Structure 1
């Protein structure tokens, strides 16, 4: 009896690969390569520094090279393509399925793309050119053209014989797409129906006519949301005239979900998910310089606000000690709201109909938390510096800043999305600017009015 083994997590897989590469044994390295699935090989390659990455890549057989390439982020894939023998790459394309080939064509740089397109047959070339004509982050760019269609007026027995004659079904097929004589979408027939009903039953009696078909123009984010809401395993993709172009399966959607999560996380730092973790120092510095510059400008703005109250700070030095508390609390409260709203926008859960209600709710949360923590900081500051007036002003400034942070946490991402700017990319910088400026100005302004 074979004992089942648990799959390695990423940390253990990377540790094992690193240890084998450190030994330098070609036999062990080749055994490692043979033991990895394409996605695992891509994971290890992305986590390695450039030199061991190149060494491992050269040992990957051409038969799986293409499958590994489509799992890599664009920057790493481009770097590895530069050191790949053209004959090996051509051999890799010959062994790939249609879906994988389309994904690979999106990665290939232009000179190499033309060579690959010339090397395939006319039929496949036309098919791939059509696939490449769809925008990348849409249902058309996501779909597979490998579909099974049947007619509504045939029996289950006819469908079963048709499938046996074909000898194969596309991977991930959970249902067959039903079309009319003009290839227009009519509904779907679950594969399970073939096994559980009388073979003489017609497809029209069992097919699901409520099953959705989506336009090839639909953004991939919206497609993922549809799969999540309706618990779908696959969905047909339709042309403007209702004809079936292809289908999207749940494994395609898992890739979209992962990419969206990576994008949101990296955008918070002004980066993209396609960046190589071990990119050259100069290239990495250039990418990050822009957002460091933007942050510097916002820091100068906050410093200018502080400078406006220089005389106040000189007379009451304790204000300089307490100022960061107001700005910090506002920044944290605003980030909580911002994260909630950015997620809601990404999932399509926020619209003109509920944005106002969400705004009032978050302001109420900011007001309640502001009241609670204003009392706490007022008491602590009053006891600490033996001055209840400073404690009261600190509490009042914090209350105002937390309400302002809640308002900004909702308003900033909604407005950014309306003007076509990614809220995850720019929202954090703008929010920090608002909470710092409002926090400093409120605290120092109140101190100037009531303590001097």
Structure 2
């Protein structure tokens, strides 16, 4: 693939859109990587994006939708006519179809489904009912399955007759079902091609098969693929009927998307994914909903300093150490938050195990608190030549670190138990409490030892 600077890619894309040359446009898209395409799309204004989609054939548009971020794809889909959107969605993989339809307003989704064939629309509705983080929500329905009564010749003939349709399928295995539709075997293509034509496929299928049910969670699927080096795994319903295939790449992608979403929430991005191409007021409103709460919490924390302002004015050196103690305690607490969040997501920890978590964090807090307190205390002593200043700052950091890791481990569990989002609320609550307590420790200890500090 040729290498040029990315800015020239989107400029070239815009030039071709203005020309209205579909063939030239599709040739240009074929020359650039998926990453370059996503970057180029983000530089086009909304009108050019829509003109691009209206110029492209449905299969090229489908490829573009599969590469750009979900929020951007949803926004574009809402601006297209229902008929145009339907032609694009019909070219996408079944799991991507369901994801896009689920992200739309109900009225928009139904308008698009009405333009699709009844069979395909019903299939999309069925897949959209499954939760995104389950095997049913992640599976594709493009797979090959044949009745056990078929012969090798029957299967090969069917594959030849539908070669064009199956060409996009990820055909690693052929599945075998019973007369009642239950999954009973898997047929390797090698065995299929090397067996006599008249052989019933039930004679050469692998009977000891591994499968997952439609309700299995993302973490369970991750564990499955860690234990088994499979490209995909068949998904069955409660009657053991084959309903789809969960691909390894889709499971790993979903896990990465979940991690990204959790990271966004911990940073205060409310309402899901944010891109700078979104409307300014929407982005502002989402951020302010978190920031406005944080400013109130910070005012509460700062009120502790106001109470001890006389002590602070007497020992001005304390002002240097207040933000250090606050920041270091917050860092320690957020480490504990991250571990609790991870254990909750893996289901190795339950919300009612708060006391056990606090007990386990205390040992880490004692060790880290003593070491960090000793370091900051020595720095204060050396700087001002006053060991009592070192005792105040070091003691405050040691105690606050112990408090921070205990709370950091417990807060996500408590929030989960009361039905709140731990990823969104844990960090602000922890920061407020550790700031208040840290300021209180430093300034109250300094007040008690004021004659020795001045």
Aligned to 1:41: 37
* Counterpart mapping for 1:120-199 below 5 A: 120-150=116-146, 163-164=159-160, 167=163, 169=166, 171-194=169-192
1:33-432 correspondence to structure 2 within 5 Å: 33-36=29-32, 41-46=37-42, 48=44, 50=46, 53=49, 56-57=52-53, 59-84=55-80, 88-93=84-89, 95-96=91-92, 98-150=94-146, 163-164=159-160, 167=163, 169=166, 171-194=169-192, 203=202, 207=206, 209=208, 211-214=210-213, 216-271=214-269, 272-351=271-350, 359-432=358-431
On the 8 A contact 2:268/2:291 being kept in 1, the answer is no
Runs of 5+ in structure 1 lacking a partner? none
- Cα distance in structure 2, aligned partners of 1:58 and 1:121: 21
C-alpha displacement of 1:22:
7.5
- Structure 2: which 5+ runs fail to align? none
Equivalent residues of 2:187, 2:201 under 8 A apart: no
The CA RMSD measured in Å over matched residues stands at: 3.6
- SS of equivalent to 1:296: helix
Q: Does structure 1 retain, via aligned residues, the 8 Å contact 2:148–2:177? A: yes
Q: Distance in 2 between matches of 1:403 and 1:187?
A: 56
Shift of 1:225: 4.2
In the superposition, the TM-score normalised over structure 1's length comes to: 0.82
Would the alpha carbon gap of residues 52 and 224 (structure 1) be closer, same or farther in structure 2, given more than 3 Å must change?
A: farther
Query: Following TM superposition, by how much is the alpha carbon of 1:120 offset from its aligned partner in structure 2, in angstroms?
Result: 3.0
What TM-score, normalized to structure 2? 0.82
- Distance in 2 separating the partners of 1:17 and 1:202: 51
Say if 1:93 and 1:294 are closer, same or farther in 2 by CA, change over 3 A: closer
Q: CA deviation at 1:260?
A: 1.1
Q: How many correspondences in the alignment?
A: 443
**Per-residue deviation, 1:243:** 2.3
Deviation at 1:255, TM superposition (A): 3.0
8 Å Cα contact 1:268-1:428 kept in structure 2: yes
Contact 1:331 1:435 in 2 (8 A): yes
1:264 and 1:193 map into 2 onto residues whose CA distance is 45
SS of the equivalent of 1:420 reads coil
Partners of 1:156 and 1:203 within 8 A in 2: no
Between 1:146-155 and 1:285-294, the stretch displaced more is: 146-155
Q: Which moved more, 1:272-281 or 1:158-167?
A: 158-167
CA distance in 2, matches of 1:420, 1:43: 38
The whole-number CA distance in structure 1 between the counterparts of 2:157 and 2:342 is: 48
With 51-60 and 61-70 compared, the bigger mean Cα shift is at: 51-60
Counterpart Cα distance in 1 of 2:227 and 2:450: 57
Say if 1:422 and 1:230 are closer, same or farther in 2 by CA, change over 3 A: farther
